[in-house]
Structure 1
Amino acid sequence: MRALACLLILTPAALWAEDIPINSQVAAVTLYPQGGSIVREARFSAPAGQHRLILADLPESTPLASVRVSVDGATMGGVALRNDYVPPRDDETDAALDAARAQVEQLEEALRTGEAGVARIELEQQAAQSRVAFLEQLGQGESVAGMDAAALRDLAAMIGEETLAARQAALDAGLRADAADRALKDLRDDLAKAREALRALVPQDTPRAMLAVSVDAEAATEGRVTVSYTIDKAGWQPVYDLKLARADGALSIQRGAFIHQSTGENWSDVALSLSTLRPSEQTTPGEIWPWLRRIYDPEAIRPKTLMRGAADGMVEFDAPMAEAAPMVQEAQARFDGLSVSYDTPGTVSVASGADRLRIALGTLDIEAETVARAVPLMDDRAFLMAAFTNESDEVILPTGEARFYLDGRYTGQRAIELIPAGGEAELSFGPIDGLRLSRVVEQRSEGERGVITRSNGQQERVRIEVENLTGETWPLRLLDRVPYSEQDALEIDWSADPAPDTTDAEDKRGVLAWSFDLAAGQSRAITLDYSLQWPKDQILQ
C-alpha cells in the first residue's frame, strides 16, 4: 500500500517503524431480515515488541461504535478507529474485471466494423436506385423530340439495359445488406452478454474506514486479527414454493432466501448464516403507565376567564387540568418466541449492490386437508384451500415471495403471514372454475313499521346457490353474513334455510358457515332472511 507507506514516512521514525499495514477480508456473515453482523479476519507477522496493526480496508459506512476486535498471537492494547482522513488506497486491479472490460471493448469494435460494412452495402443500393431514377427521367426530356428513329431505338435499348443492370445491382445490394446485418446477430448477443458480465463485476472503489490495533509480542509471531461489527445495508427475505398434491393432501414447502447487500464491498467465499432474529425492530416489551381518571363539575371546566379582583383589578383563574400520562407509540406485534438460524453449506459470494442471490433452505413436508371455500357475497366461483398445522420446529416467516403450485401447475404468487411452529393456517391454491356461485337479493323492503311504535324497519331475502359443474364430489365450506347490532334499540332477526353449521364463524360476528359435500352435477341452495327495526327518529348506518 504505497499511499499508506508515504503517509507513514512523514511521521517520526520511532512511530512508523512500529506500524504494520495488513489486509483484511470478510470471513463470515450473519444476516437478519434487516441488517447483519460481519466478521473480518486479517493475518499478520510481527517481530518482538510493540506495534500497531493498520487495517485501512473497512467500508466507510462501518458503524465504528459497534466494532469489536480480538487478536490471536499477541497481546492486544488500544484500538483506534476513524472513517475520515483515511489514507487513499492504491487502485485495486482485478483480472476478471479487466478481462470483462477488454471483452466488451473488443466486441464493440467488431460490431462497429460490421455495421460500417452493412452501411457501405446500403450505399451501393442507394446509388443503384439513383441510377434507375436518372434513367427513367432521361427518356422523358425535350432533347429526344428531334431524334430520328434509329437514335431513339439506340437510346431506348441503352436505357433498358442500364435500368435492368441498376435494378439488379440495387436488389443484390439489398440482399447482401440483409445478410450482413443478420450475420451480426450473434455478435450483438455476445456483446449483450459481455456487458451483463461486466455489470455483475462490481468494482470496490468506495472510500474506506481505518482501524489501528496496538499489540505487544514477546517474540516474533504470526497471528490473526478478528474484527466484528454490525451493518444495516444488507438482509434476507424468505421465499417459498408451496406445492400441493390434491389427491392425497401432501403439501411440500420448499424454502429459500433472497440475499442482498449494499455495503460497498464484495463478499467473496464467505461463511453465511441466516437468522430470523430482528434486532432492528422492537426488542423490549411495551410499558404500562398508571391510568389516572378524575371527575369534574362541568361548570368548573371552562376556558380561562378574567374576573375583577380587589387588589390589582384583574385576577386570572385556570380551569382544572387532568394529569398528562406519557404517550407511548404502539408498534405492530411480531412473533419472536422462536428464532431459527440457517447455516448455508460451503461458502457464498455476493457482490455489493448486485442482483439478489437465492439460497435453498430445505423442504418441509406437511399433510393438509383440502376444502373448497365459497364466498358468494364476494366471488362467482369457489377457491381451493389447504388447511394444515405447522408441525415442524421452524417458523414459516411472512413474505411476499410465495409461489403456489397445484398438482405441478403454477397458480399464482401471494403474500403469506407468519405461521409459528405448531400454528394453524389455511392457504389458497387458486379458483375452481367448475364450482359456480350466485347470490341474488330476491326481496327487499323498508319503511315505517307500525303506527304506534313509530319505528323504521328493513327486510331482505337472499338466495344463495352453488353449482358443481366438475366431474367429482367436492367438500365445501360456504360463508355468508347477516347484520348484527350492539344497540338495544336496533333489533335484528334472521333465519336461514338450511340453518348454518356455525355462527360467528372465524370469530367474526354475524358470519355464517355451512359445510357440506356437493356431488358432481348437483347444486345446493340456501335462503337467508333478516329484518331490522329501529326508532323512527334514528338513522340506520
Structure 2
Amino acid sequence: MHRFAAICVIPAFALIPLAAAADVIRVDSRITDVTVYPEGAKVTRVAAYSVPAGEHRLRLLDLPDTALLDMVRAKVEGARMGSVTMREDFVPPRGDQDSDVVKAARAEVERAEDALRGKQDEAAALRLARDAAETRIGFLKQLGQGETLDGVSAETLRDMARMVGEETLAARQAVLEAEAKARLVDREIDDLQQALDEARQALAALETGGDDYNLVEVSVSAEAATEGVLSVTYFTRDAGWAAVNDAYLSLGDAPGLRLDRGAMIWQGSGENWDDVALTLSTSEPSGQFEPSEVHPWRRRIEEPFQPVLKRSLAMDMAEAPMAAPEPMIEEARVMSFHGLIFNYAYPKPVSLASGADGVRIALGALDFAPEIKAVAAPLWDSTAFLTAGFTNGSGELLLPTQATQLFLEGEYVGSMATDQVAAGAEARLPFGAIDGLQVSRVVTRNEGDTGILSKSNEEKETARIEVENLTGRAWPVRVLDRVPYSEQEDLVITWQARPTPSVTDVDDKKGVLAWDFDIAPGASRQIELSHRIQWPQDMELR
C-alpha cells in the first residue's frame, strides 16, 4: 500500500462540506491516456456519469493500489465539483468487474476441469476393475489347496479344475482389457490436461490486473439533471521506458548510416492498459529537478600533527598501484518543449498488460552521412575495427540506450550501450573487426642504472608498430597508442615518435596518442614509439 505523504496541500474545494443527503453514485471508468516517463507514468481515467439535480458523490473503484493518492487530480465536466476523497483501506467491494471475454475464459477453464475430472474418474474405475480381476485370480489359485478337497471324487475334481481354468482365463482377460482401456484413457487425460493448461494460460493473460484497488469519490452538485464526464489523473512508479536503437551502416561510394530509434515500455501498475493513447516523455519527475544546495565551507587551523615513524596500512594502500578502471512502421510524433523535454506521441492505440507485456514502438529513423574510419589499438588488438562517426544534425536529443544493435550491410554485428548525443554533438559507433587490416606491436625494453655517480634509475622502452592492409580497398586509419606521463618533478619522462602523432592527449586523456593516415590495398605503414623514464635512486617506480 502507498500511504499519503506526510504533508499534503489540500485544495480549497476539499474543505466544502457535503450535504448530508448527498447520494453515492458508482461510475465505471476506463483508461484513455498514459504518459510514460523513464521511471513512472501518468494515467488518465475517464468516466461518463448521469445525475439528477442536487448534491452527489461520484464513486470510482478503479484506481489500483499502486496509484499515488496524494497526486490524484480530478476534473468534472457538466457539473460543479466539490471535494475529492481518497481511500486505500476499507474500500467497498467492486462487485463483478469481469468482461465477457474474461467470463468466457473462466467458463472454459471450468469446463476443461470438469472434463479432466470425468476422465480421471473413468481411469480410476477401470483400475478398480483390474484390481478386482487380479483378486479373483489370486482366489482361484488358492482354491483346491489344503484339506478342503480331501475325499472329493475324481469327476468333481475335473469339474472344479475346468471351472478354475475358465474363471482364471476370464479374469486374466478382464485384467488385460481393463489395462488397455486405462491406457487409452490416460492418453485422453494427457490431452485434457494440456487443454486445461492452455485454458488457464489464456485466462491468466486476461487477468493480469491486480485485485487491490483504491477508492476515489468526487462530490458534484447540479441545479438540474445532467450528464457529464469525470476525469481522474494519477501517477504510478511501476512503469517506465528505455530507448532501444538499431544502427545500419552501408559502405560503398556513398556510405550511409541509418539510426532506427525505438522505445521498450513496461508496466506493473496492477491494471491493464487497453487501447490507450500513449505518450513517451523524456521528463524525469522521479529524478532530480532542482539545483543542489551549496553549504558554507568553514576552514580552520591547528597545531600540526606529529606522525609516528611507523609504516601504516594506510601508507601501504596509498602506494599500492590502482587497477585501471524495412517494412513500413508506425512512428511516434515528437514534440519538443524548448529543447529541454521531448514527448513522443504514438499515433495508434497501444495495449500493455500489467506485469506481462513488453511493448516496443518506433520513434522514427534518422539518416546521417558517416565518416568511415578504421581504428586500431595495437597495444591490445591484432586487427583494426570499422567505425562510423557522425554529427547529430537532427535537432533532437539522441537518447542513451542499454542496447543499440549494430548492423553492417544488413548483417548483425553486435549490441552495445550508447550515451546520449546532444543536437549538434559528434558520436562514433563501431561495426566490427576488419580482419584484413592487421596490426602488430613489438616492444624492446632496457632497465638499469645509468651510472654510479648519477644515483638515478632509468627505464627505456621502444615499440615498433606495423599496420598492413590485406583487404581489397583503401582505408582511412587511426592508430591509438600511449606513452607514460608524470605529475612529479623527480619523475622525468621523455618520449619520441616517428612519424609525429596527429593528435596528442586524445579526448583529454594524458599520454594517449593518435596517428591518422590512409593506407592503400597491399600497403603497410610503420610507427616507432619510444620513451625514457628517470627517477631518483632511493625511489621506486610505480
Asked whether 1:240 is paired with 2:245, we answer yes
Residues 196-215 of structure 1: per-residue CA shift (max 9 Å, x gap): 54443234351111111111
Q: Look up the equivalent residue of 2:258 and give its one-letter code.
A: S
Q: CA 1:356/1:263 → structure 2, altered by over 3 Å: closer, same or farther?
A: same
CA distance in structure 1 between the partners assigned to 2:270 and 2:290 by the alignment: 32
Asked whether 1:271 is paired with 2:277, we answer yes
Q: CA 1:34/1:244 → structure 2, altered by over 3 Å: closer, same or farther?
A: same
Residue equivalent to 2:84? 79
Q: 5+ unaligned residues in a row in structure 2: which ranges?
A: 1-18, 127-182, 308-337
Q: Look up the equivalent residue of 1:222 and give its one-letter code.
A: E
Q: Residue 401 of structure 1: CA displacement? A: 2.0
Q: Residue 337 of structure 1: CA displacement? A: 6.1
Q: Look up the equivalent residue of 2:270 and give its one-letter code.
A: G
CA distance in structure 1 between the partners assigned to 2:345 and 2:298 by the alignment: 51
Local SS of the residue matching 2:364: strand
Q: 1:97 aligns with which of 86, 95, 102?
A: 102
Residue equivalent to 2:436? 434
Q: 1:225 aligns with which of 218, 221, 230?
A: 230
Local SS of the residue matching 1:340: strand
Q: Residue 186 of structure 1: CA displacement? A: 11
CA distance in structure 2 between the partners assigned to 1:72 and 1:206 by the alignment: 29
Which segment drifts farther, 385-394 or 516-525?
516-525
Q: 5+ unaligned residues in a row in structure 1: which ranges?
A: 1-13, 121-176, 303-335
Contact 1:24 1:41 in 2 (8 A): yes
Residue equivalent to 1:480? 481
Contact 2:116 2:189 in 1 (8 A): no
CA distance in structure 2 between the partners assigned to 1:25 and 1:271 by the alignment: 12
Q: What pairs with 1:128-527 in structure 2 (closer than 5 Å)?
A: 197-247=202-252, 248-298=254-304, 338-441=340-443, 443-527=444-528
Contact 2:22 2:55 in 1 (8 A): no
Residue equivalent to 2:168? none
Residue equivalent to 1:36? 41
CA distance in structure 1 between the partners assigned to 2:223 and 2:376 by the alignment: 79
Residue equivalent to 1:533? 534
Q: Residue 279 of structure 1: CA displacement? A: 1.1
CA distance in structure 1 between the partners assigned to 2:55 and 2:243 by the alignment: 48
Q: CA 1:497/1:189 → structure 2, altered by over 3 Å: closer, same or farther?
A: farther
CA distance in structure 2 between the partners assigned to 1:381 and 1:188 by the alignment: 57
Q: What pairs with 1:12-31 in structure 2 (closer than 5 Å)?
A: 18-31=23-36
Local SS of the residue matching 2:395: coil
Residues 218-277 of structure 1: per-residue CA shift (max 9 Å, x gap): 111001111112211011111111111122221111111111111111111211111111
Aligned residues: 436
Local SS of the residue matching 1:200: helix
Q: Look up the equivalent residue of 2:512 and give its one-letter code.
A: V
Local SS of the residue matching 2:485: coil
Q: Look up the equivalent residue of 1:459 and give its one-letter code.
A: K
Local SS of the residue matching 2:341: coil
Q: Look up the equivalent residue of 1:44 and give its one-letter code.
A: Y
Q: Residue 472 of structure 1: CA displacement? A: 1.1
CA distance in structure 1 between the partners assigned to 2:194 and 2:436 by the alignment: 46
CA distance in structure 2 between the partners assigned to 1:280 and 1:535 by the alignment: 55
Which segment drifts farther, 467-476 or 477-486?
467-476
Which segment drifts farther, 376-385 or 99-108?
99-108
Q: Residue 453 of structure 1: CA displacement? A: 2.0
Q: Residue 16 of structure 1: CA displacement? A: 6.9
Contact 2:65 2:212 in 1 (8 A): yes
Local SS of the residue matching 1:239: strand
Q: CA 1:232/1:221 → structure 2, altered by over 3 Å: closer, same or farther?
A: same
Residues 396-419 of structure 1: per-residue CA shift (max 9 Å, x gap): 111112111111111111100011
Contact 1:338 1:395 in 2 (8 A): no
CA distance in structure 2 between the partners assigned to 1:277 and 1:490 by the alignment: 49
Residues 406-451 of structure 1: per-residue CA shift (max 9 Å, x gap): 111111111000111111101111111111222221x212122222
Q: Residue 194 of structure 1: CA displacement? A: 5.9
Local SS of the residue matching 2:372: strand
Q: Residue 507 of structure 1: CA displacement? A: 1.4
Aligned CA RMSD, in angstroms, stands at 3.2
CA distance in structure 1 between the partners assigned to 2:391 and 2:256 by the alignment: 12
Contact 2:66 2:237 in 1 (8 A): no
Contact 2:119 2:189 in 1 (8 A): no
Contact 1:202 1:352 in 2 (8 A): no
Q: CA 1:463/1:187 → structure 2, altered by over 3 Å: closer, same or farther?
A: farther
CA distance in structure 1 between the partners assigned to 2:436 and 2:108 by the alignment: 56
CA distance in structure 2 between the partners assigned to 1:27 and 1:476 by the alignment: 54
Contact 1:111 1:187 in 2 (8 A): no
Q: CA 1:297/1:432 → structure 2, altered by over 3 Å: closer, same or farther?
A: same
CA distance in structure 2 between the partners assigned to 1:107 and 1:468 by the alignment: 68
Q: Look up the equivalent residue of 2:257 and give its one-letter code.
A: L
Q: Look up the equivalent residue of 1:264 and give its one-letter code.
A: G
Contact 1:202 1:354 in 2 (8 A): no
CA distance in structure 1 between the partners assigned to 2:111 and 2:264 by the alignment: 35
CA distance in structure 1 between the partners assigned to 2:109 and 2:422 by the alignment: 50
Report sequence identity in percent: 49
Residues 259-315 of structure 1: per-residue CA shift (max 9 Å, x gap): 11111111112111111111111111223333333333327x99xxxxxxxxxxxxx
Residue equivalent to 1:163? none
